[in-house]
Amino acid sequence: LDSAGRSGFDEELVAELRAVNDAFKPDERFLVVSADLGQVAGKQAQEFNAAAPLTGVIVTKMDGSGKGGGALSSVAVSGAKIAFIGTGEKMADLEAFDAEAFVGSLVGFPNIGALLEKAREASDEQVLEKAMSDGKLDFDSFLAQMRTMRKMGPLKQVMQMLGVYDLPEEVVGQSEEKLKQFEAAVLSMTPAERKNPDLMKQKARQQRVAKGAGIKEDEVKQLLQNFERASKMMKSLGRNRGFLKGIGKRFPGLAGMK
């Protein structure tokens, strides 16, 4: 049941909300407040919590307001529990509130736990686990990595999990466009080229892929350079099995990566 928007300082509307709560007796009662309310959000939560005890508060617009910290702290002080925060307009942008991760974001510490969890949810685990287990990367597994990046949500959000908060919008847009170009290039390769990356060192193949993907030859070369860096990192991870084992223990969803 979604009630109409109201202010916690309007006695008539609060009385109406109390009547609705008494009539329906819901198991869960969430208050949705905008982060740009700042500390007023806490006062709103306190008033509503007194009228109809809240299960939790959902604080939206956390991605675009400098008052987000004030809203969260004031809601917490009000006695209401912060359940979720919203960082965008899609369901994927609604996330369970993690106080430790939030404090870490304020001081610039990366939220590696959330990043790995998003990666696990978005990834083609079978393809990526095989690549990490073998310590080898081909263009099929590289394509899976790129698609995982895109499924994880807006690039800006992913970078924030890594502790990067001041990435210019122009850079974000260019990076997302580059991922699309790289994916188009891989899809323009033959099955043999995807399985044997060394074939793509031939200039004629690079020219053919660029034409098929509708991109410049230089962009294909950028793809190959990025692939080479990722391949070296994958080989390093493949040798460091202790690291992967530790990751698996901490995040059970990734336990298959040995």
Q: Tens of pLDDT along 111-156?
A: 555 655 655 555 555 555 555 555 578 898 888 877 877 776 666 6
Residue pair 238/132 in contact (Cβ under 8 Å)? The answer is yes
Residue pair 192/200 in contact (Cβ under 8 Å)? The answer is no
Q: Is the dihedral of CA 118, 128, 228, 135 positive or negative?
A: positive
Average pLDDT (53-63) is: 82
pLDDT exceeds cutoff 50 at 244 = no
Please provide the average confidence, as pLDDT, over all residues in the chain.
73
Tell me how far CA of residue 185 lies from CA of 56, 124, 139, in angstroms.
Answer: 46, 20, 10
Q: How far apart are CA 143 and CA 217, in angstroms?
A: 19
Q: Residue 42's CB: how many other CB atoms inside 10 A?
A: 23
| pLDDT at residue number 107 | 47
Residue 221: half-sphere exposure toward Cβ, Cα within 13 Å: 6
- Span 197-241, pLDDT tens digits: 999 999 999 999 999 999 999 999 999 998 888 787 766 655 555
Q: How far apart are CA 56 and CA 31, in angstroms?
A: 7
| pLDDT at residue number 221 | 94
pLDDT exceeds cutoff 70 at 71 = no
Please report which confidence band the pLDDT of residue 193 belongs to, taking 50, 70 and 90 as the band edges: very high
Domains by residue range for the chain, with CATH: 11-97 (3.40.50.300), 116-254 (1.10.260.30)
